[in-house]
Amino acid sequence: MEKTEDLPFFIRPVGLVLIVGLLTATKLFAATNAYIVEDEAYYRLWGLHPALSYYDHPPMIGWWIAAGQALFGDTVFALRGLVVVSGLAGSLALWRTATILFDRRTAGWAVLFLNTSLLIGIGGILATPDAPSVVFWGLTFWALAELSVSKNPNWWLLVGLMAGLGLLSKYSLLFLGAGIVLWLVWVPDARRWWSAWQLWVGGMIALACFSPVLYWNQLHEWASFYKQFGRAGSGGFTTKYVFEFLGAFVGLLNPLIAILAAAGGATLFKAVRARDNAASLILLTTLPFLLYLTYHSLHSRVQANWPAPLFPAFAMMAAVFVGSLRADQQLWRKVAVAGAGLGILVAVLVQSHAVWTFTGQLARKDPTFQLRGWQEIGASVKQLAEQEDAAYILTMSYGLNGQVDFLMKDTLPVVQATERIRYSMMPDPDETLFQQPGLYITEKRRNKSGDLEKSFETVEELAVLERKVKGVPLEQLVVYKVDGLKGPVFEPLMHR
């Protein structure tokens, strides 16, 4: 085994603690001081109303937020605190996994590459389902590595638990299960586990963890499954999105690290053909989800955050390549160091920009534009509500509804009139609420105020509010007064 002192300082345990600690401190600073994005505002409502599951995703991120809110109140940090801390658990699991499958050199590079990937380094503060899905995918993989090295079948019980918690985070963990089956079939030494009772009990543990989601879907006509699984191949064949998907994947992984990961993947593929255990475990558990994302990109857009659970595996692929370099291959080592340095620099700059706003000239091309201008919008809406003696606020989109609800907390109820299935965890407001004057707020680009005339006698435009960053316009919001209820406010619950 290679001695720790023979490793470069930045991949020794003490160096990694310093680097990961710096990045975590930066994330905590941004998590506390940067405003929230629309999805976080929506998931905040999940935390305020914990449930067995939800329309969009399984419940884990809602439960994490609820825990944060119990500790820190209804604050921005309460949304994000557990998300930031979970990144440390993911790094520790990756270090242990790479150490037992390869060596400490590979482990050090893997942790460094994961934390300097742009999606994890920058987006690692956002309270979305990606955060728990990345952690539990990594913890499941760690338990599999321990199983494959120790040959102790009891590890299957932990594999089942971690996979089950992952399924409570995001449906993408189903693809990890498919990858585990591939590994069990492909590697001769792994086939022994088919006869181990612990494998089957581990599967039952995973199913038991997932049962709240199944029960919720059964109660709601399988609405969440229709929404998520109905996406696959829903559009006609096209190549317009596949290059966008690949570009986003490479960019958010970190372009230099992506080059190293491709080289490492090629090295591991040769070992997979020889049915090597470690190489097969990495590539085969990654393959099903990667194939699905590629297939999806040939029909419709793949959101940039979807591949996030694969990033620890790709960090390990890059680490395998760099860790195996000969002493005379200094160019590749320089690429590795440059990639890590680039990731640290970009993460610190973007997190700082999210708090202090260096410039507004990028407008909506700025990756932080969703954070901007909401406090000013909130102040204007409160003034209009007081002026019109409004008793409530109506919206038509979940993102805007979440943002306005956070801005108006402890003052007026904010209600999305459409897609009520999203709010099944809370009771519908009493219809008598809407017999009083209220406000309707919508993005100008999505303005369908004419629909309100079916429900209200009065639909009067009051103001056009502009969300800005340093004087640069980002978005216009239109505010209407509604009064004189004459018909139902809500659309039917089920929307597919």
Q: Which residue(s) pair with 469 in the sheet? A: 472
Which token pair is 454?
């079916």
Q: Which residue bears the tokens 């509604």?
A: 482
- 31 CB burial (10 A radius; 0-12, 13-18, 19+): buried
pLDDT tens digit sequence for 19-55? 999 999 999 999 999 999 999 999 999 999 999 999 9
Residue 232 has pLDDT above 70, yes or no: no
Residue 167 and residue 213 in contact, taking contact as beta carbons nearer than 8 Å: yes
Give, as one character, the DSSP assignment of residue 430. P
d(CA 270, CA 376): 57
Amino acid letter, residue 295: Y
Q: What is the mean pLDDT of residues 202-220?
A: 97
Residue 275 gets which letter from DSSP? T
Give the Cα separation of 55 and 222 in Å (integer).
9
| Contacts (Cβ under 8 Å, ≥6 apart) of 302 | 241, 244, 245, 248, 293, 296
The tens digit of pLDDT for each residue in 110-156 reads 999 999 999 998 889 999 999 999 999 999 999 999 999 999 999 99
Distance CA 204, CA 210 (A): 10
| pLDDT at position 173 | 96
Output the average pLDDT for the chain: 94
> Is a pLDDT exceeding 60 seen at residue 102?
yes
Distance in angstroms (rounded) separating the CA atoms of residues 45 and 287: 35
**pLDDT tens digits, 398-407:** 999 999 999 9
Query: What would the mean pLDDT of 185-199 be, rounded to a whole number?
Result: 97
**Residue extents of the structural domains in the chain:** 4-356, 370-485
Cα-to-chain-centroid distance, residue 79: 13
Task: Give the integer Cα–Cα distance in Å for 161 and 156.
Answer: 9
27, 87 Cβ separation under 8 angstroms: yes
The pLDDT, as a whole number, for residue 47 is 98
pLDDT at 210: 98
Instruction: Please tell me what DSSP assigns to residue 391.
Output: S
Contact present, 34 and 125 (Cβ < 8 Å): yes
Which range among 89-103, 188-202, 397-411, 480-494 shows the weakest confidence by mean pLDDT? Answer: 480-494
Non-local CB neighbours of 220 within 8 Å, separated by 6+ positions: 55, 421, 424
Joined together, the tokens standing for residue 257 give 């690290």
pLDDT at 46: 98
DSSP 431-469: GGGGGS-EEEEEEGGG--GGGGGGTEEEEEEEEEEEEEE
**What angle do the packed helices 255-273 and 277-297 form, to 10 degrees?**
120
Evaluate if residue 495 carries a pLDDT over 70.
Answer: no
In the structure encoding, which two tokens stand for residue 109, read together? 């590079």
Q: Name the H helices within 274-326.
A: 277-297, 311-323
Give whole-number Cα distances, 177 to 160, 183, 206, 284, in Å. 10, 10, 10, 10
- DSSP lists the bridge partners of residue 472 as 469
Strand order in the sheet with 456-469: 414-416, 393-395, 438-443, 472-485, 456-469
pTM: 0.94
Gap between the Cα atoms of 293 and 296, Å rounded: 5
Distance separating alpha carbons of residues 137 and 290, to the nearest angstrom: 14
Q: Return the structure tokens found at 377.
A: 């919008």
**If DSSP codes are grouped into helix, strand and coil, which group holds residue 476?**
strand
d(CA 112, CA 326): 20
CA 466 to chain centre: 28
At 234 the pLDDT is 62
